[in-house]
Amino acid sequence: MLSLLAFERIAKKYGVKRISREALEETREVIEELGLEMAEKAVKASRFAGRKTLMEEDIKFVTEKRE
């Protein structure tokens, strides 16, 4: 799990002046949920392809379908 400070740095990089702790915590939860969802789909894609190893192409496949 990424720290709240990491999310604060990302927010400031994109121009946020101030952000509440609650907003940081919510952002972290949402990103974690999205990451887990993507990981599950990527594992399914690699298994469908007959591989046991998760590859970069599986992640790219999952993220392209999301757009």
Q: What is the pLDDT of residues 22-61, one digit of tens each?
A: 999 999 999 999 999 999 999 999 999 999 999 999 999 9
Q: What is the pTM of this model?
A: 0.75
- Measured CA to CA, the distance from residue 49 to residue 28 in angstroms comes to 31
Taking the CB of residue 58, how many other CB atoms lie within 10 A of it? 22
**Structural domain boundaries in the chain:** 4-66
Identify whether the C-beta of residue 61 lies closer than 8 Å to the C-beta of residue 49.
no
Model pLDDT, residue 67: 59
- If you average pLDDT over residues 1-24, what whole number do you get? 94
- Measured CA to CA, the distance from residue 26 to residue 46 in angstroms comes to 30
- Measured CA to CA, the distance from residue 44 to residue 5 in angstroms comes to 32
How many residues make up the chain in this entry?
67
Domain 4-66 in CATH 1.10.20.10: yes
